[in-house]
Amino acid sequence: VFKGFTGSICVIFLMLPLLQTIFKRLILKKDFEMSMPFDYVYPFKVDTWGIFLVAYFVQIIAILIIVLAYLGTDLLLIVLCSFVSTLFKILGHDLLHMKPTNKKRIDNNTVEYDQTEKILDDWVQRHQRAISLISELNKIFDRVTFVNLLFATLSICFYALSCKAATGTEEIMTKGGALISILLVVLLTCYCSEMLNSASAAIGDAALENPWLDGDKSYITKMCIILMRSQKPCSLTSYYAPISLKTFTKVLSSTWSYFSLVNTFYDASDN
Per residue in 25-51, pLDDT (tens digit) is: 788 777 777 778 777 778 888 878 888
Asked if the model's pLDDT at residue 109 lies above 60, the reply is no
Say what the pLDDT of residue 87 is. 93
Q: Where does residue 236 rank: exposed (0-12), middle (13-18), buried (19+ CB within 10 A)? A: buried
Say what the pLDDT of residue 198 is. 92
Q: Name residue 241's beta-bridge partners.
A: 238
Asked if the model's pLDDT at residue 105 lies above 60, the reply is no
Which residue, 204, 223, 151, is CA-closest to 182?
151
Question: Cβ(138)–Cβ(237) under 8 Å?
Answer: yes
Asked if the model's pLDDT at residue 22 lies above 80, the reply is yes
At 130, the pLDDT band (50, 70, 90 cuts) reads: very high
Q: Which amino acid is at 61?
A: I
Asked if the model's pLDDT at residue 106 lies above 60, the reply is no
Q: State how far the Cα of 232 lies from the Cα of 225, in Å rounded to an integer.
A: 12
Q: State how far the Cα of 32 lies from the Cα of 67, in Å rounded to an integer.
A: 29
Q: What are phi and psi of 172, to 5 degrees?
A: -65, -40
Tally the residues of the chain. Answer: 271
Q: State how far the Cα of 182 lies from the Cα of 248, in Å rounded to an integer.
A: 12
Q: Which 3 state secondary structure label does DSSP give 31? A: coil
